[in-house]
Amino acid sequence: MPDPEEAAYRRGAPFTFDGEKYLELVRKLRERILPESTTIYAPSFDHAVKDPVENDIPIPPTARIVVLEGLYVALDQEPWRDAAKLMDELWFVDVPMHLAIERLVKRHVEAGLSPDAGHARARVMANDMHNGQYVLDHRLPTQEMIQSIEEGAWKTTKSEIQEAAEGKNRPGPDRMSSTAKLAALGAGC
């Protein structure tokens, strides 16, 4: 990053992501599956560590549905736009602003980004809401828009998602033949 201080302050803005690496991942996922195809590994993001965890999510060649979630997945800006063109569907999760703020404040405190809710709210309003508004102002058209609701009891672990993906495969020419893509404003959507 040219300015590490600005990148740290603006953490989560499009320029703080490696969009080209994301595009490369999506291109790999679109490759035709062959007998010699191997597992592709995608990064995850650990808010407590405050950084991506490389090669953390295995996507086996048996996977036929891949859901990619993220703030900029439907962003009408390169390289995100090129990645979006490779998707079968784009979905947008519409999160009411008050709910996005509440979720982000909670996440910032739990991840240790802010010492308390007051500091977290200030950070959310100075940075995260700016990023969210940027998405709203610059997103691609989507096939579906769904409303996010607060259901505190529902949580799914990465292993549950992986088990479901491995157990419910359908034949298809590539890993993303039936992919839905979610671009969500806010945390835990």
Between helices 97-110 and 129-137, what is the axis angle to 10°?
140
Strand stretches in the chain, DSSP E: 40-46, 51-59, 68-69, 91-94, 144-147, 181-184
| Mean pLDDT of the chain, nearest integer | 83
* Chain segment 69-125, per-residue pLDDT in tens: 999 999 999 999 999 999 999 999 999 999 999 999 999 999 888 999 999 999 999
**Mode of pairing for the β-strands spanning 68-69 and 91-94:** unpaired
The CA distances from residue 92 to 44, 147, 176, in Å, are: 20, 9, 18
Statement: the pTM of the whole predicted model exceeds 0.85: no
The CA distances from residue 178 to 22, 76, 160, in Å, are: 19, 22, 20
Q: Is domain 4-149+157-184 given the CATH code 3.40.630.10 in the classification? A: no
Closest to 152 (Cα-Cα) out of 106, 93, 91, 94:
106
pLDDT at position 61 over 90: yes
Between 6 and 108, where is the model more confident? 108
Could you tell me which residues are beta bridge partners of residue 65?
none
pLDDT for 4: 79
